[in-house]
Amino acid sequence: MPAKLTAFTGMDAMTHAIEAYVSTVNCDYTDPLALYAICMINRDLVKSYNGDMECRDHMHNAQCLAGMAFSNALLGIVHSMAHKTGAAYVDENGETLHIVHGCANAMYLPKIIKYNSKVESAAVRYANIARILGLKGNTTEELVEALIAEINRMNRELNIPTCIKDYDYYGHKVDEKQFLDKLPKVAELAIGDACTGSNPRQPSQEEMEKLLKACYYDLPIDF
């Protein structure tokens, strides 16, 4: 498997596991699957990306565990946004400019962790993930920030862009004017996506537009 595909599918699996763990329908059966998958992916994905065959074998299992978790606990708005932005834009030739699904999830995940952490029950779960990964923090807020920093670190090591504006699809980038013109409709579709219902925080139209803008421009989440 090419390194770029390894990175994208690996972070897709990380998103599967994290969203399943904080989903509103998580349960005692899905939590262990999600947490173990998160630990394995954190441990093995970057090494797998760099060609370690044993870690690639581990990633095969981790991705399956993450799939078992989200198949039962469902997902959240990282996936809602990735689904609706994935084929929303065209290049200068009128061809679909795909935002590859796993890459979209990787770019959006840190922003949505921050957004969802305004809900106490979600923040506690993100903090628990951070503790299990051995990240440092004395408070729930510090642990949430540590988890966000860790996801960003993984993205950097996997050469994943930080935002849609920096995303490149075979030499093509998402045009800013087109992004803004389509923003209200893409936000509306993301809110209506099947994954939104199990997200721990339900976004309004205004909030979803702000989230998408944050993911385009790499803006801080302060709402």
Question: What values do phi and psi take at 172, rounded to 5?
Answer: -115, 145
Look over the chain and give the mean of its residue pLDDT values, rounded to a whole number.
Answer: 99
223 in any annotated domain: no
* pLDDT at residue 64, rounded to an integer: 99
What is the span of the domain harbouring residue 169?
3-217
114 in any annotated domain: yes
201 in any annotated domain: yes
57 in any annotated domain: yes
Buried-exposed string 96-122: b where 16+ CB fall within 10 A, e elsewhere: ebbbbbbbbbbbbbbbbbbbbbebeeb
Q: How many percent of the chain have pLDDT more than 90?
A: 100
* pLDDT at residue 153, rounded to an integer: 99
Q: How many domains does the chain have?
A: 1
48 in any annotated domain: yes
Q: What CATH number is given to the structural domain containing 45?
A: 1.20.1090.10
pLDDT digits (tens, 9 = 90+) for 125-183: 999 999 999 999 999 999 999 999 999 999 999 999 999 999 999 999 999 999 999 99
Residue 68 has a CB neighbour count (10 Å cut-off) of 18
pLDDT digits (tens, 9 = 90+) for 54-72: 999 999 999 999 999 999 9
Rounded to the nearest 10°, the torsion over CA 36, 38, 44, 50 is 160
Q: Is the pTM of this model over 0.85?
A: yes
